[in-house]
Structure 1
């Protein structure tokens, strides 16, 4: 086996291992795209996954500089050849893409591409996306001119199959996660119904009886009110036990830092943004304070991923005296903290939800004696900081 063959084997191996390494799906697809460009000696490579609305949910390119990306502008729509490949499972190989009947030209700033090899990413009868290469580099000693050949097509088909596995795995993971959430909600509903509803019904009947007896038999009314107090205490205890059951298992067993790290790893696998945790174990805090920090982190992450469209989100947890400081920072769209989504009205979609999320986080911080600050600028991301004192 020659050195070139060994290099090719290593590239294919890296792409295969990426699929099985539990990385975020975007990282896996980036590994596959980069491997395809290197293996097939192409100047450019890209991979797109449609979003169901005429554009792409993911569009990953390799070989373009940051300046070229900025010059090209927004992610391409599903038009021309890119759109056709999402409806036909056959590969496309062309010596000059500009002469293809479905070619519709380049956007301003797009690099010139000539020879082209495109491969739909398929799972059974479903086309999940497409991967394509352009501008085959000349190879010394190769006869017949440049351009992609049948061997290149076969290798790209293999890499497309690995991309399909990564995409399907990500879908299955997300569906399993959604199913777990539904099952947990159903369990909570059952517990609330079985444990609390009956006591609340008895509580209401007893209170009505006490009300009816107040003017006729004060002693019996007092006895009924004692029953009301007992039932209320039992209902409160039942509710507390259900709420304790809702505490994250990782938080209860492994501590705050470990729970946040696992939350970051989970979200990193199912979102396009890169989500990282840094920090270490902090001083032992009461259950209420640990829970407050964890829930604020969840809400800050939710707001960033749902409303901010970030590329990176960083969670940092540090010791601060006897307590700790949580910081969640994203590089997303940001917002005006004095306007919609901050403390003002809700002029755009999502602003009201963000404002409610901020209010919820501030209330959680206050409830445990902590302080929450939010700094954000439109176009420059958001930072949520929560400072929590230690226990006495």
Structure 2
């Protein structure tokens, strides 16, 4: 017999305590990580099974085709049941009822389930089963099942809490799907960004090299050794520049933007900055709400990342700071260090006899300025009161409001 159980409405002190405990443990940060979803569902299955007095449990999620349900978490089920229940039809029995409407469905005739190939479990070890919807808004995203070795009815207050669990797990599934879509879009944007960067920073140098090839060829044919050597040197310089530029572009995209946002990404860098570079990095933020779009956060992250990379490579600093503040006209990001500054050669410069780091020649600074321009803002690079270096990125408030809306 299949029964659709009406949603109970009474509350008790015990139920409220259980709801409070459940809400406290289901933090938004947990629900936002799709890679943690199965672990989250499995962890709560244990508590749910104990609460309901069940012997096993399972969570099923609707596939993208909306025609079948996939088993994503389980506890207490025999191996052959797990195998046969990996994917079931959306309209199958009591599970189908819970998958098409926001209900709690109870069944104590498990003959339909036993037809899946688990006859020794359904109807024997398992005498009855409860199916609870996992809703989000008007949509059902999946269900969870509880399996019992008796036909003992469940108390109404427990059913209320089980339904609440279903709603919260439905929220977790919704958040996981949103996060997966956000990550997919971010990856696509980063791929396009990489294409743009490669084109912007390599095209001009390659065009220059291409122009030198016929000149070199003519000089060789004319046996004009001085000019041939000059054009050959130009080509070597261009190829070296292309190689260095390409490596630097690739370095940008090895560090993907943190899905939890700009501030989380910056704090993550700060946590490991000292161990990697022997430089203390501090993040100071005085702006409660940045109101930035995903694209803005990605561009700002790469600007700050490049500034910090320059500090690590060239500054010989002991301390660096990233400050986020707001002026009447701008949202401002300041990256400062107490190192040598831009006019002093670094250790690497002394050893290799390379040119000092200056804004007009350093490739990374050109990229940073290009990103600032895309943000509708400006970038300033200079010395900080005669000690160290300061990078100032400013974005007009009207620009952030416009893109965030």
Q: Residue 21 and residue 30 in structure 1: after superposition, are their counterparts in 2 closer, same or farther (change >3 A)?
A: farther
Counting only pairs closer than 5 Å after superposition, residues 179-258 of structure 1 correspond to structure 2 as 179-216=185-222, 218=224, 219-248=226-255, 254-255=271-272
Corresponding position: 1:48 with 2:60: yes
How far, CA to CA, are the matches of 2:135 and 2:254 in structure 1? 41
> Aligned to 2:239, what secondary structure does the other structure show?
helix
The equivalent of 1:282 in structure 2 is: none
Rounded to whole Å, the distance in 2 between the matches of 1:240 and 1:126 is 47
**In structure 2, C-alpha distance between the alignment counterparts of 1:104 and 1:176, rounded to whole Å:** 40
Show CA shifts across 1:109-162 (max 9, x none). 425333332122122333211012233868xxxxxxx32465544332211100
Q: Does 1:27 align with 2:36?
A: no
**Equivalent pair of 1:28/1:166 in contact (CA under 8 Å):** no
Aligned residues: 246
CA offset digits 1:72-96 (Å, max 9, x no partner): 3515131432662365214253352
Q: Does 1:38 align with 2:76?
A: no
Q: Give the whole-Å Cα distance in 1 for the aligned partners of 2:134 and 2:22.
A: 15
Q: Secondary structure at the match of 1:117?
A: strand
Distance 1:137 1:14, change over 3 A: farther
2:245 counterpart SS class: helix
Partner of 1:70: 79
Q: What is the root-mean-square deviation in Å for CA atoms of aligned residues?
A: 3.8
Q: Contact 1:44/1:135 (CA < 8 Å) preserved in 2? A: yes
Q: 1:166 aligns with which of 156, 163, 172?
A: 172
1:186-237 deviation line (CA, Å, top 9, x unaligned): 2222221111122112212211221133212514333322322232232233
Aligned to 1:263: none
TM-score by length of 2: 0.51
Secondary structure, in 3 states, of the residue corresponding to 1:42?
coil
- 1:226-285 CA-partner distances (Å, limit 9, x unpaired): 3222322322332233233335388976549999xxxxxxxxxxxxxxxxxxxxxxxxxx
For residues 256 and 71 of structure 1, the distance between their equivalents in structure 2, rounded to whole angstroms, comes to: 50
**For 2:170 and 2:119, how far apart are their aligned partners in 1?**
31
Compare CA radii of gyration and give the structure with the larger one: 2
1:119 aligns with 2:129: no
1:93 aligns with 2:105: yes
Unpaired runs of 5+ in structure 2? 1-10, 31-35, 257-264, 277-311, 313-405
Residue matched to 1:107: 118
